[in-house]
Amino acid sequence: MTKISDEQLLRLWRASYPLSQAWLTFSEPHDQQRWKALIETSAMDALSEGAKAVSETEADLSTKLTQAFAGTQKILNERTAHQTELRQAVVRFIEGGHLHGFGFELPRTLNALPAVIPKRAWSGRIGWENNTLTFESIQLVEVRLTTNRIRNELLERGNVDKTPVRPQGRPTVRHAVEAAFYALNEAGRVDPTASQMSHYPLVKEWLELNRPDLKVPPARMSPKTINKYFSPLFNALREKHNL
């Protein structure tokens, strides 16, 4: 294989998926549907139902609390277990050579290029939520994964887009907005009876705290942009509640 050029490295990184989304992006369709179902099952509703069920029992307070939280804990445990399985599957795909990782070594400079992440590095500490990977004394940030198909198209096919790399345009915020929706919904902060726009400040607030790496500052994100990715999920939630 010819040595990977600087241009190719940048293209590969830009054509890859953030680590925080890769575990779901590269999962099987039935696993994606399973995750969607788990996310759409309200932990807050389970808590409310559990509290109502034990309110009239004669048990002591400690027992009541345990029983009230049982349904919620079951949902959260199922989510954690499923997410862990999917993340482990992604690591197996990497070890099998089906997925390839790229990231920036710290300290990162303005002109830094992404590095190809060797398989052995994935035995280190993986920061799924923050797109990071720590291996021995090496720290990688903005870690992304791509498939063999995309990698081969960029590296092996001579007629694939050879134009000079242009400055990256306005990046998509789809995955970040979707992640915000799922997190807010899990926390019981998405109200399907309220307007979509009333949730946008919550989305921006969540992004400010959890996705400070976004190229588009959350404070400058337009309602139209948020609506594009928030709306399908919100509408699906409303349909679930027959609203």
- pLDDT of 129-187, one tens digit each? 889 999 988 999 999 998 888 888 787 763 334 343 433 444 468 878 888 888 888 78
Q: What is the mean pLDDT of residues 94-99?
A: 89
Residue 116 lies in a domain: yes
For 212-228, the pLDDT digits (tens) are 667 777 888 899 999 99
Q: Contact, 103 vs 144, CB < 8 A?
A: yes
Question: Quick check: helix, strand or coil at residue 128?
Answer: coil
Residue 167 lies in a domain: no
Q: What is the mean pLDDT of residues 89-114?
A: 90
195 alpha-carbon distance from chain centroid: 25
Pair 31, 78 in one domain: yes
Pair 149, 43 in one domain: yes
Whole-angstrom distance, CA of residue 28 vs CA of residue 119: 22
pLDDT band, residue 201 (cuts 50/70/90): very high
In the block, tokens 């070890």 appear at: 95
pLDDT at 161: 42
Number of domains the chain contains: 2
Whole-angstrom distance, CA of residue 100 vs CA of residue 148: 7
Domain end residue (candidates: 101, 126, 156): 156
Residue 109 lies in a domain: yes
Residue 162 lies in a domain: no
- All residues at 6 or more sequence positions from 11 whose CB lies less than 8 Å from its CB, including other chains: 154, 161, 165
| Host domain of residue 28 | 6-156
pLDDT at 4: 82
pLDDT at 117: 95
Burial (CB < 10 A; 0-12, 13-18, 19+), residue 207, is buried
Pair 27, 120 in one domain: yes
Best mean pLDDT range from 17-26, 67-76, 84-93, 214-223: 84-93
Pair 31, 124 in one domain: yes
Pair 111, 14 in one domain: yes
